[in-house]
Structure 1
Amino acid sequence: MSELSDAELTRAAQSGDVTALGVLLARHEAGMRAVALAILGYTPDADDAVQDAAVVAVRRIGDVRDPEAVGAWLKMVVRNACRARLRSTRDIPVADGWDLTASPLATPEQLLDDHALRDWVWQAIDRLSPPVRLVVLLRHFSLGVTSYEAIARACGIPVGTVRSRLSQGRAQLAEALRATAASAHADAGALAAASRLDALDTLASAERGEFAKVLADRWSADVVLTASGVRGVGHGFLLRGMEGDLAAGVRQRPVHVVAGRDVVVWEMDLINPPDDPEHCPPGVAWLMTRDQGRVTDLRLHHAPVATVTAGAPN
């Protein structure tokens, strides 16, 4: 495959050949890095820009209109990433800063649905270790927990560890994509849809007073809960927290779901009662790890989520 031209590799990648995409990225990595270094200098941001561009290429290779110019397209993606970093002091989510004719309302997850690589990407992500996978999912697929600082707070780890895990994840993802190119792939869209139904059913059951049954059926008896720096073990912590919110008139509404094989993120709107509109922050993310279908770890990340609004697409 290394003997094929850029145009042939691009067409193959657009048809779902992940190995072809891997060859393209390897072939143009030096040129992509040169662009980043020229704009950002020898800093960690330059490496981040190249890695982010590779992830964008996985999602957006179907947007390349001139396969013979894929090298220029990849450099343009890197250039956009670098300029976005120069324009702002905050971390730029991967969905931001790309002038690639994407719909302004599209989410990263929806962009995956645009071409045949979607399910390869999700199976490759599922091959990452759970700690690395969670950081990758939050950075590239969540709506409101995308900056390094927000991910660090949500996961209870230093920002440096976030950077390290993202770097590991991107490298492992490229290798996993090649390794899974010839295997069967689950329907990632169906997995996310099923998880959204699970979220809706969980909340509806809680409002009916049946949250304890949901916990017994789907959650480990030794589930670990971490929220606002407090750590608890077992169903009792979860049950008291949910019942307390409901008694205060607080309701939750799912607005975005990211679902892998054993790492799931539910992003929720928190709807406060009219007489106490400041009772809770406007949003919460449930970061869940599962083992054999049962939730074993839950981290709740409360933060203002300006990008999560009612009716956001899934």
Structure 2
Amino acid sequence: MGHEPRISPTDAELVIAAQAGDSGCLGLLLERHRGRLHAAALRVLGYGPEAEDAVHDTFLIALRHIGDLKEPQAVVGWLHMVLHRCCLRQLRRRRGEVLVAEVPDRPDEGANIEERLEKAALREWIWDAVRKLPEPLRVAAMLRYFGSYQSYEELAAILAVPIGTVRSRLSEAKRKLAEILLETAGLIDSDARLQSHEHQRFYFEMFDRLNRHGERDRFLGHFAENLHLVRGAGMPTVGRSHLAYEIDSDTEAGVRLEPRRVLSAGRITVIEGAFLNPPEDPFHCPPGVALVVFHQHGVAQHLHLHLSSRPPSLEDD
């Protein structure tokens, strides 16, 4: 008996399914157009790793913003527009120009709850891939693609490494992340996702107890006695007492640190917060702070602390 020929879904159908949370369809869509996107990048950038980087950048942007595309049938043109902007960024990087992220069709400020839930499904797929990166690449990707302090200079300050190291780590992270995403389309590690959510809830509760109930010792008890505290380019300090001094000084001055975003993947947690200064001393602490915590066996062993002149931005949450 003959079989009906199998009809492949159109690009628009794949987009609609992806916007409804089907990450497998998004993976199929991106894989379908990988060859043509790479050929287009080669025409602009020539042969070399920059063309492949531009394609990976395009994939990452598509993964985060496919839900913002208003006309699914226009996805091919949209992908090529994203690629073109990524290629221009590569050309600017060659000339040493300051780079600013550009993403077409930004999300609607009035997005309803259904749209937010659909985007959350894709975000979980991305986070599952991020968790599979080696730690140095993972923390760089977490800060660059999901945090508020994303410039190479800020990442270098937060991680206390040279800018060149930041560049190389992000380049490698993009390559690995794009491949992992396509390999694991639709396969999300629910245990790892649950662990990440538990870490997020834990830190929000910890800061709430510290700020509202003064549970200082309980807060400090989460950190190892021989905690390695890194602040900018200065020499790391060893000992939980240094963190205790920071907390006590802020408390005495009437300053509170309010967490605004908590990102967690594996044993790495990024906390972005805003300092709330007292009215009589409004400039005691800078507006923003980023903390990168490295855990081991449920205890924070390393802490990177970065002060910022601006509070965290939460537009993409």
State the Cα RMSD in Å: 3.6
Query: Offset of 1:100 from its aligned partner?
Result: 1.5
Q: Deviations over 1:13-61 (max 9, x none)?
A: 4455545434433442343345445566779876554332211111233
Query: Which 10-residue stretch deviates more, 47-56 or 132-141?
Result: 47-56
**1:158 aligned to which of 158, 162, 171:** 162
Q: Deviations over 1:188-218 (max 9, x none)?
A: 59945862552343353266443222232x2
Note the 1:1-314 alignment, pairs <5 A: 4=8, 7=11, 9-10=14-15, 13-14=18-19, 16-36=21-41, 48-64=53-69, 67=72, 69-82=74-87, 89-93=97-101, 97-103=102-108, 114=119, 116-143=121-148, 145-177=149-181, 178-179=183-184, 181-185=186-190, 191-192=196-197, 195=200, 198-202=203-207, 204-205=209-210, 208-216=213-221, 218-228=222-232, 229-305=234-310, 308=312
Query: Are the equivalent residues in 2 in contact too, given 1:91–1:148 (CA < 8 A)?
Result: no
Q: Describe the shift of the 1:115–1:203 C-alpha distance in structure 2 as closer, same or farther (beyond 3 A).
A: closer
What is the CA–CA distance in structure 1 between the aligned matches of 2:144 and 2:208, rounded to whole Å?
Answer: 26
What is the CA–CA distance in structure 1 between the aligned matches of 2:293 and 2:118, rounded to whole Å?
Answer: 23
What is the CA–CA distance in structure 2 between the aligned matches of 1:304 and 1:44, rounded to whole Å?
Answer: 35
Q: Describe the shift of the 1:103–1:172 C-alpha distance in structure 2 as closer, same or farther (beyond 3 A).
A: same
Q: Describe the shift of the 1:282–1:4 C-alpha distance in structure 2 as closer, same or farther (beyond 3 A).
A: same
What is the CA–CA distance in structure 2 between the aligned matches of 1:49 and 1:153, rounded to whole Å?
Answer: 25
Q: Could you tell me the TM-score, scaled by structure 1's length? A: 0.79
Q: What letter matches 1:91 in structure 2?
A: L
What is the CA–CA distance in structure 2 between the aligned matches of 1:302 and 1:295, rounded to whole Å?
Answer: 19
What is the CA–CA distance in structure 2 between the aligned matches of 1:249 and 1:63, rounded to whole Å?
Answer: 42
Percent identity of the aligned residues?
34
Query: Offset of 1:82 from its aligned partner?
Result: 4.7
What is the CA–CA distance in structure 1 between the aligned matches of 2:194 and 2:81, rounded to whole Å?
Answer: 29
Q: Describe the shift of the 1:256–1:221 C-alpha distance in structure 2 as closer, same or farther (beyond 3 A).
A: same
Q: What letter matches 2:291 in structure 1?
A: W
Query: Are the equivalent residues in 1 in contact too, given 2:55–2:83 (CA < 8 A)?
Result: yes
Q: What letter matches 1:73 in structure 2?
A: W
Q: Describe the shift of the 1:180–1:259 C-alpha distance in structure 2 as closer, same or farther (beyond 3 A).
A: same
What is the CA–CA distance in structure 2 between the aligned matches of 1:41 and 1:223, rounded to whole Å?
Answer: 47
Query: Are the equivalent residues in 2 in contact too, given 1:59–1:111 (CA < 8 A)?
Result: no
Query: Offset of 1:180 from its aligned partner?
Result: 6.4
Q: Describe the shift of the 1:58–1:187 C-alpha distance in structure 2 as closer, same or farther (beyond 3 A).
A: same
Query: Are the equivalent residues in 2 in contact too, given 1:6–1:70 (CA < 8 A)?
Result: no
Report SS of the residue matched to 1:117.
Answer: helix
Q: Describe the shift of the 1:189–1:62 C-alpha distance in structure 2 as closer, same or farther (beyond 3 A).
A: farther
Report SS of the residue matched to 2:282.
Answer: coil
Q: Deviations over 1:259-312 (max 9, x none)?
A: 223221111111233333332221111111122332221100112126x36x97
Q: Deviations over 1:164-199 (max 9, x none)?
A: 111221222223222363354358599458625523
How many residues align? The count is 302
Q: What letter matches 1:147 in structure 2?
A: S
What is the CA–CA distance in structure 1 between the aligned matches of 2:100 and 2:16, rounded to whole Å?
Answer: 30
Q: Deviations over 1:140-181 (max 9, x none)?
A: 1112x1111111111111212112111221222223222363
Q: Describe the shift of the 1:186–1:105 C-alpha distance in structure 2 as closer, same or farther (beyond 3 A).
A: farther
What is the CA–CA distance in structure 2 between the aligned matches of 1:67 and 1:312, rounded to whole Å?
Answer: 23
What is the CA–CA distance in structure 2 between the aligned matches of 1:117 and 1:208, rounded to whole Å?
Answer: 37
Q: What letter matches 2:230 in structure 1?
A: T
Gaps of at least 5 residues in structure 2 are 1-6
Gaps of at least 5 residues in structure 1 are none
Q: What letter matches 1:21 in structure 2?
A: L
